[in-house]
Amino acid sequence: MGRPSKAELAAREAAANAETEAQEEKMQETSQEATQEAEQEAELVEGAAETNDVPAGIPADGNADAIAALQEQIAELQAQLAEKNAAPSVVLAKQEETVKLTYVATVSDNNVLNLGDFGQMTGVGWVIEIPRSQFGGKFMTAFVQKLIKKRRLIVLDGLTAEERVRYGVDYKEGEVMDVQMFDKLLDMDVEKLLHIFENLCPEHQQFVATRFISAYEKGDNRIGRGLIEPLQTISKKKNPNGLFTPILEKMNKT
């Protein structure tokens, strides 16, 4: 065979170039089709995640994991949103238990009882609350013990029966006066007063006597011999000298 002519070489080169261009064009079309298919598949997967359905034409084994993962993410987001929008829970701290006390004594309304870190009590009838956990400790100073022993500080509530015995505040019925009773002494019916007075502890009988003595010295006309003499007789059962002697002595001089 002889050497190909220039015309043949040119024809061959043109044919090769045409074939190359055809192959490149075909590859580009294939790439575009693949991209479109991928985008369509992604749209179908996203739609499946929203509707919880596997779309037709999508192989279950090829997209089940992706759909499950999307569904799990959606569930987590929904749970977080629900938790964020939920009303905050309110936890109430347990209120500390307290012991309630009142002060009863023959003092003026302006008299101030200083209890240190636990505040002050003015006059009679003032009620104070002490944390139960501190009642038998920090609060129970020698001064407070003295007031409790003299029945000036009266425990109203907050202690068990056993604790009342321990601290000497297990009052018998009618043994101590409440504030209302103390305030109404001078206006109380004689028979009722005598009954109450007879049951009082010695300390509160002394309160009554002091109250009457002070009122008599101020010229209170509600205090007469018909009331003081029976009170004196009752008081001698616990105090041989009688608690109302100062009044009777002054009455005997008039």
Hunting for tokens 């369509």 — which residue is that? 40
Cα–Cα distance, 114 to 138 (Å, whole number): 15
Share of the chain above pLDDT 70, in %: 67
Query: CA–CA separation, 182 vs 208, rounded Å?
Result: 8
Mean pLDDT of 234-251: 94
Q: Per residue in 92-111, is it b (16+ CB within 10 Å) or e — as a string?
A: eeeeeebbebbbbbbbeeee
- Of 76-85, 137-146, 216-225, the range with the lowest mean pLDDT is 76-85
pLDDT in tens, 29-86: 554 555 565 455 545 545 544 555 544 554 555 566 767 777 777 778 777 776 666 6
* Residue 71, pLDDT score: 73
Domain boundaries, the chain: 6-84, 96-170, 173-254
